[in-house]
Amino acid sequence: MQISDIPFGTTDWALIERTEYKGETGVACWRTQNFGGIRVRMVEYSPGYLADHWCTKGHILLCLEGELQTELKDGRKFILKPGMSYQVADNAEPHRSFTVIGAKLFIVD
């Protein structure tokens, strides 16, 4: 990742507008900031959320609250709890998210 031409700044995530995206079940609420070609998000998944697609976008993702289950298209499954993260490159391994209890994430992509 190349980070350039972004002046120092702070973000109060509570002031960023929320956008809702429906999953196959549940909803994802995103608060998004774009800095050049880098998207930074605070995402909250409702309990029972299941993504409605296989994602091929690369991410660095940190679980802040709750629990996130990530399934790779090849069948492998991973569980993230607060303080855990994952990273995956663009077009590397299709993945989708699910949560039983809900989750709050910080994502850079």
> Exposed (0-12), middle (13-18) or buried (19+): which is 41, by Cβ within 10 Å?
buried
pLDDT tens, 7-16?
A: 999 999 999 9
Do the domain assignments include residue 5?
no
Number of domains in the chain: 1
> What integer pLDDT is reported at residue 1 of this predicted model?
67
Cross-strand pairs, 80: 68
Domain, as residue range, for 36? 17-98
In a domain, 12, yes or no: no
pLDDT (tens digit per residue) in 30-89: 999 999 889 999 999 999 999 999 999 999 999 999 999 999 999 999 999 999 999 999
Judge whether 92 lies within some domain: yes
Q: Is 9 domain-assigned?
A: no
| CATH assignment at residue 75 | 2.60.120
